[in-house]
Amino acid sequence: MASFLRTPLFSVDLSISSRIDDSLRMSASSSLRVRRPGTADLKVSGSVKRNTCLIVQASKEPLELTRELREKQKTTFEEKNDELDPFEELKPRFLNFKKRVYLENLDHYQNLAEGQAPKFMVIACADSRVCPSKHFGVSSRRSIYCPNVANLVPPFQHGASEVNAGLEFAVNSLQVANILVVGHSRCGGIRALMSMKRDDDTRSFIRDWVSIGKTARLSTEAAAGNLSFEKQCKHCEKESVNTSLLNLLTYPWIEERVNEGTLSLHGGYYDFTDCSFEKWTLVYRQCLEGGSKYSIKNRSFWS
């Protein structure tokens, strides 16, 4: 066996091939015997070179079989590609954007490629019916968006998330002057928050996330607990915006900039059932002694 391992696998003596027929007619005592995999080593009796040739010849067959299987898989894959491609409808839309928007505003997009200096950070819901850039007609150069389920802002102590990472980038790196948190009508995330039971599946990512708004739920139950579930949800959709605004002040670098007057916090509510918008600004007085440090100003309704 040791001599077999020292023999290179593919160093075949051409003279061996002329003796293959003789080797196949050898007695049982000099035949090649292979046991089941894992039970024993390969046993070889007789000439090592003779059996090496057999190994080389046998190795060609699996290679051809593998190549054949790959060709069949390739054919099957190409046949499946004949199915409807969901990106086909996106392609003409992208090309239309390039022709009618990008190329007609080439200077703007070339400047945008050099850097960004947005004045607004908008935290909105991931709901497909909510698109702040379209609703407000704000260009991508003037705002940065951070969508998430139910447009929630976790408190600073909550731990890392895409929201506080976005806040750090927008406030400390881009130095935005305004943060707008936008709620909206018929929000599925808020409905999930208002529908939660104590025995619900604690492994749900949605449950864990919307639990950030539990303060808004408690406020809603206290103020509108006698109303229908639908009206409670609508109340909570607005109340959760205020909860997020207060949570923003738990971030030291946000509180500092608000006190300095270089950053303003705003709330908004978009009702897509009648295309109306309500907005307000949070006032924070850190040094105020007695009374509430928080108030609302500049509330307005657009319809």
The one-digit pLDDT tens for each residue of the chain (303 residues) are 444 444 444 444 444 444 545 544 554 444 444 444 444 444 444 444 444 444 445 555 566 767 777 766 665 555 555 678 888 889 999 999 999 999 999 998 898 888 888 999 999 999 999 998 888 887 667 899 999 999 999 999 877 899 999 999 999 999 999 999 999 999 999 999 999 987 776 678 999 999 999 999 999 999 999 999 999 999 999 999 999 999 999 999 999 999 999 999 999 999 999 999 999 999 998 766 666 788 999 999 999
* Token pair 């808020």 in the structure block, residue: 190
Quick one: pLDDT at residue 55?
A: 47
pLDDT at 158: 75
Q: What is the pLDDT of residue 76?
A: 57
The pLDDT, as a whole number, for residue 46 is: 45
Which residues make up each annotated binding site for Zn(2+)?
A: 125, 127, 184, 187
Cα-based distances in Å from 299 to 248, 271, 279:
19, 16, 6
- Decide: 139 and 112 in contact? Cβ < 8 Å: no
Q: Which residues of 61-73 are buried (b: 16+ CB within 10 A; e: fewer)?
A: eeeeeeeeeeeee
pLDDT the model gives residue 7: 43
> What pLDDT score does 198 carry?
77
231, 235, 240, 245 alpha-carbon torsion, rounded to 10°:
160
Distance CA 113, CA 109 (A): 6
Question: Are the C-beta atoms of residues 216 and 238 closer than 8 Å to each other?
Answer: no
How many alpha carbons fall within 13 Å on the CB side of residue 172?
A: 11
| pLDDT tens digits along 26-41 | 544 444 444 444 444 4
Question: How big is the CA angle at 234 (ends 230 and 236), to the nearest 5 degrees?
Answer: 115
Instruction: Render pLDDT for 1-33 as a digit per residue (tens, 0 to 9).
Output: 444 444 444 444 444 444 545 544 554 444 444
Which of the 8 DSSP states describes residue 148?
A: B
CATH class of 117-302: alpha beta
Calpha distance 40→29 (Å, rounded): 18
Rounded to an integer, what distance in angstroms lies between the CA atom of residue 299 and that of residue 292? 18
Q: Where are the domains of the chain?
A: 2-80, 84-115, 117-302
**Local structure of 123: helix, strand or coil:** strand
Q: Taking every pair of C-alpha atoms in the chain, what is the biggest distance, in angstroms?
A: 108
Q: Are 270 and 263 in contact (CB under 8 A)?
A: no
pLDDT at position 186 is 97
Alpha-carbon Rg for the chain in angstroms: 35
71: its two tokens: 């060709």
3-state SS class at 120: strand
List binding-site positions: 125, 127, 184, 187
